[in-house]
Homo-oligomer: A and B are copies of this chain.
Amino acid sequence: MSSPTSRRASIGAVRNPESDAAILEAARALLEERGYADFSLSEVARRAHASKPTLYRRWPNKAALIFELYKAGHSERLSAPLQGELIQDMTAIVLALWRFWRETPTGPALRGLIAEAQSEASAIETLRQIYSPSSPKMARARIEHAIALGELAPNFDTDSALMLIMAFNWSQLLTNQIDDEAAVAPVLKLIFTSHPR
């Protein structure tokens, strides 16, 4: 039986944080080793010594587990040097993401997830969570800072700006052009220029 503490801390089913960590670690290693296409939940369960029902209760499909890794990787390892000027900072944030996608399995994983979602309805929901204006935290914080400073008008449409930037990042990733770093600044200039307070 679970303790009152773990019952309070968990919204859904009671989770074992140790086994969650083992599963995520096994998943990360497997993704790094095999890539998206050959990644399977049953192999993750085997490596983490977890039961398949445990794993499936927590992550109903491959896309959901990959998404968890994807989010964790971003919040742990993604950082950009911020210099002060809006377009310069936004460019640094986008380039840090592109570099992160190139240098870790997250880039290929997102490509695999997008490909899978075109024929697999269960992956579409996960994809929509990624493609949501609440998803890019660092970029949102920088825009809100710009609004507070008066660099952008108070009614600047932050959600639309973030959607456009994410869409641009995806298209560059999907056409294998996230090394074309010169493409970033002009696009951001178009989004952020001439929206003065």
- List residues of chain A with CB under 8 Å of any chain B CB: 37, 111-112, 114-119, 124, 127-128, 131, 157, 159-161, 163-164, 166-168, 170-171, 174-177, 183, 186-187, 189-191, 193-196
Of the A-B pairs whose beta carbons lie under 8 Å apart in the complex, a sample of 18, sorted by A's number, is A112-B118, A115-B116, A117-B174, A127-B175, A131-B171, A157-B186, A159-B186, A160-B186, A160-B189, A163-B171, A164-B168, A164-B191, A170-B170, A170-B171, A171-B171, A190-B191, A193-B195, A194-B194
Copies of this chain: 2
Q: Which residues on B sit within 8 Å (CB–CB) of A174?
A: 114, 117-118, 127, 131, 170
How far, in whole Å, are A160 and B186 apart by their CA atoms in the complex?
7
